[in-house]
Structure 1
Amino acid sequence: MSYCLLLLLPVSALTGWLLHVIAGNYFLNRYLPAQDAQLAAKAGQWAGALVNQSLNIEQKISDPALIEKAMPAIEQHIDDFLNVKLKEEIPMLAMFIGNKTTDKVKEVFVNQLKLLFPQVMLQIAGNLKTELDPEQIVTRQLNNQPVSALVKKQASLQLRQYRNAGLLLGLVIGLINLLFIYLIRC
């Protein structure tokens, strides 16, 4: 067997490595940047759907249990308003209003708040959903910092491994070719 045939091994290894370098560079520098806008839109849609499904803000914010948890603090503020602030602001009214009257007014306020609170919270949640649209936020952020730039930062080690795999693959192909040539000549 000619020693020139042994050159087949480094040439095959170099060819495999070179093809992997070209393919990796094409993917990172040409193909991926061309897909940035489409990837950003898809990621935005995914994030919007995920947030809408997992959070379900309207249902959680208008939950009666949440309102019941907030009622002691609300009642305390109404109490403070009726018994302290109102008497300070309108002292003349304080002469005509006693504890029974303030308790009745407080009861009416609390009942009205229990009816009004879920509707107000639903409206606030609806406004929040339109203002804090996760789909638009993610899409805007990914357009500002493209996916290709993020991948380039993260893929340096994997790209080196990919190139080394090309080198190894080329070497294996060279060995197989050398084996075939040897078997054919014998």
Structure 2
Amino acid sequence: MNPWMFSIPLISALIGWLFNILAGRYLLYNYLPKKKDQLSATLGSKIESVLPFSKLEEQIGNPELVEKAMPMIETHIDEFLSVKLPQEIPMLAMFVGNKTTDKIKEVFINQLRALFPKVMTTILSNLKEKINISKTIQAEIDKTDITVILKENLSGTMQRFGYTGLLLGFIIGAVNLLLFYAIQ
């Protein structure tokens, strides 16, 4: 058997290492930057689907939430009816007594209980539309240089990828050498 045949595993290892390094660099510098828009759109929609907007909308309509807010709202209505209203409209204060202010307060509270979930749901949906998390994430990813980020985060992985090619190439070369030896 020719002594040069023993170099087959080494040549195969070198070819495997070189192939993996070139494939990794192609992926890192050419393929992924070209797919940046598609990746950012997919990532944005995935993150948006994970965010709990639907749960927030459900919770805002929960009567317990409204009841927890009522003491603070009642305090503000009391202050408005007993302090602010007489200051702003003194003539009205002369005609409005405690019974009337209590009735006005009761009407305000009932209206707020009915109105509060609707207003908060509208605010949340407007906020959801205004923020548009998917487009925000997509815009932020478009601003960044994905190649630099990938290079920083995948440098060790790329090195292991090259060593894996080296090892696999050596194994394939050794198997080829054994096959050549077995054939002869």
Same fold (TM over 0.5): yes
Letter aligned with residue 79 of structure 1: D
Deviations 1:87-145 (A, max 9, x none): 33334433333322221111111112112222222221221121011111121122112
Alpha-carbon distance between aligned partners in 2 of 1:44 and 1:6, rounded to the nearest angstrom: 53
Letter aligned with residue 84 of structure 1: V
Alpha-carbon distance between aligned partners in 1 of 2:98 and 2:14, rounded to the nearest angstrom: 94
Deviations 1:14-40 (A, max 9, x none): 111111111111111111111111111
Alpha-carbon distance between aligned partners in 1 of 2:179 and 2:162, rounded to the nearest angstrom: 26
Instruction: Let me know the Cα RMSD of the aligned residues.
Output: 1.9
What residue number does 2:166 align with?
167
TM-score (norm 2): 0.89
Alpha-carbon distance between aligned partners in 2 of 1:118 and 1:50, rounded to the nearest angstrom: 23
What residue number does 1:44 align with?
44
Alpha-carbon distance between aligned partners in 2 of 1:29 and 1:94, rounded to the nearest angstrom: 75
Asked if 2 retains the 8 angstrom alpha-carbon contact of 1:17 and 1:166, the reply is yes
Alpha-carbon distance between aligned partners in 1 of 2:139 and 2:85, rounded to the nearest angstrom: 49
Change (3 A) 1:149 1:63: farther
Asked if 2 retains the 8 angstrom alpha-carbon contact of 1:58 and 1:122, the reply is yes
Per the TM alignment, residue 148 of structure 1 is displaced from its structure 2 partner at its CA by 4.4
What residue number does 1:76 align with?
75
Gaps of 5+ in 1: none
What residue number does 2:32 align with?
32
1:5 is aligned to 2:5: yes
Alpha-carbon distance between aligned partners in 1 of 2:117 and 2:13, rounded to the nearest angstrom: 70
Between stretches 176-185 and 67-76, larger displacement belongs to: 176-185
Alpha-carbon distance between aligned partners in 2 of 1:122 and 1:15, rounded to the nearest angstrom: 62
Paired residues for 1:5-154 under 5 Å: 5-51=5-51, 54-56=52-54, 57-145=56-144, 147-154=146-153
Alpha-carbon distance between aligned partners in 2 of 1:184 and 1:177, rounded to the nearest angstrom: 10
Asked if 2 retains the 8 angstrom alpha-carbon contact of 1:61 and 1:125, the reply is no
